[in-house]
């Protein structure tokens, strides 16, 4: 199958890049450092009460840091995936062979996801050593669940970076586009949502009450950010495993904590689809 040929080729090629080694090393350092900070310097509030740093609490502390670091690794590993080949001319070789443009986009996503998985697994393994040393009650299952959800989150940003890379023919524009989207999701999303509500409410926040359509809209939009989805998904999974919190039933389906997974799946499909459609329609 052609997707597989492209993915294998891409994996072999990208896994040997020096950038990947640097990213893996940075992530390992980050994982170790963050576990140390969360356990010893700035433990979560709850741990300050109980005096015990459990794996769950550690993960709760880690997740806001991984939410920033993982997208950077994923984007750095993927933003050149298509635009780089287009710029150098190797895409001509790739498309001279019987690979459809859909094969190429899908193969690139799979190949780069594989590469990012390797980098994160190495980083998380090193983090694991530190975490098990620092956490008072270590639970492997919870940590593994955290790693799993984090990988899914990484795939979201691989999809975004590959999608942007398919969309444009220049690597610099691919970089600006992918990192720009990251900044929007990470730092600007809730401001933008607030702004939208402000405008829709006639340029004021007055008169908004719980239960209003606009409030609901703002909740939906907030939850649609992949970063929020990741945090939501991680907490939901880890807490379920820890079984110290009953899942509360939410008022609307999009407020259910599992909805984070639906959002992440959407953010994998959407950028790939948009990037592919543009790539399919363009002259090389």
In the complex, which residues of this chain contact other proteins (CB under 8 A)? 2, 4-6, 8-9, 12-13, 16-17, 85, 88-90, 92-93, 95-100, 283-284
Contact by Cβ (8 Å): 182, 72: yes
Residue closer to other proteins by CB (options 7, 73) is 7
State in angstroms the smallest separation of the CB of 140 from other proteins: 35
Instruction: State how far the Cα of 206 lies from the Cα of 188, in Å rounded to an integer.
Output: 22
Contact by Cβ (8 Å): 158, 70: no
State in angstroms the smallest separation of the CB of 94 from other proteins: 8
State in angstroms the smallest separation of the CB of 85 from other proteins: 8
3-state SS, residue 54: strand
Instruction: State how far the Cα of 218 lies from the Cα of 197, in Å rounded to an integer.
Output: 7
Structure tokens at 83: 């635009």
Residue closer to other proteins by CB (options 13, 256) is 13
Residue closer to other proteins by CB (options 91, 224) is 91
Residue closer to other proteins by CB (options 58, 94) is 94
Residues 6+ away with beta carbon under 8 Å from 134: 35, 36, 38, 39, 40, 53, 58
State in angstroms the smallest separation of the CB of 148 from other proteins: 29
Structure tokens at 242: 């820890």
Contact by Cβ (8 Å): 143, 131: yes
State in angstroms the smallest separation of the CB of 80 from other proteins: 13
Contact by Cβ (8 Å): 141, 45: no
Residue closer to other proteins by CB (options 206, 283) is 283
């Amino acid at each position: 199958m052609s997707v597989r040929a492209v993915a294998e080729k891409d994996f072999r090629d990208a896994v040997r890049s020096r950038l990947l080694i640097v990213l893996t090393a940075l992530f390992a350092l980050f994982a170790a450092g963050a576990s140390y900070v969360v356990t010893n310097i700035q433990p979560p509030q709850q741990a300050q009460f109980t005096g015990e740093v459990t794996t769950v609490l550690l993960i709760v502390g880690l997740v806001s840091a991984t939410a920033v670091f993982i997208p950077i690794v994923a984007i750095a590993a993927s933003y050149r995936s298509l635009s780089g080949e287009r710029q150098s001319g190797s895409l001509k070789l790739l498309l001279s062979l019987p690979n459809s443009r859909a094969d190429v986009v899908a193969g690139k996503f799979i190949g780069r996801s594989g590469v990012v998985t390797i980098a994160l697994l190495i980083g998380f393994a090193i983090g694991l050593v530190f975490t098990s040393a620092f956490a008072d009650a270590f639970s492997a299952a919870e940590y593994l669940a955290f790693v799993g959800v984090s990988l899914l989150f990484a795939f979201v940003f691989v999809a975004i970076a590959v999608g942007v890379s398919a969309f444009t023919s220049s690597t610099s524009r691919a970089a600006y586009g992918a990192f720009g989207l990251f900044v929007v999701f990470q730092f600007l999303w809730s401001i933008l949502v607030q702004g939208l509500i402000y405008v829709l409410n006639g340029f004021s926040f007055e008169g908004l009450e719980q239960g209003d359509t606009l409030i609901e809209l703002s909740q939906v939009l907030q939850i649609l950010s992949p970063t929020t989805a990741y945090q939501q998904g991680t907490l939901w999974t880890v807490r379920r495993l820890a079984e110290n919190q009953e899942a509360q039933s939410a008022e609307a389906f999009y407020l259910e904590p599992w909805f984070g997974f639906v959002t992440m799946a959407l953010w994998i499909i959407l950028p790939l689809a948009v990037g592919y459609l543009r790539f399919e329609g363009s002259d090389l």
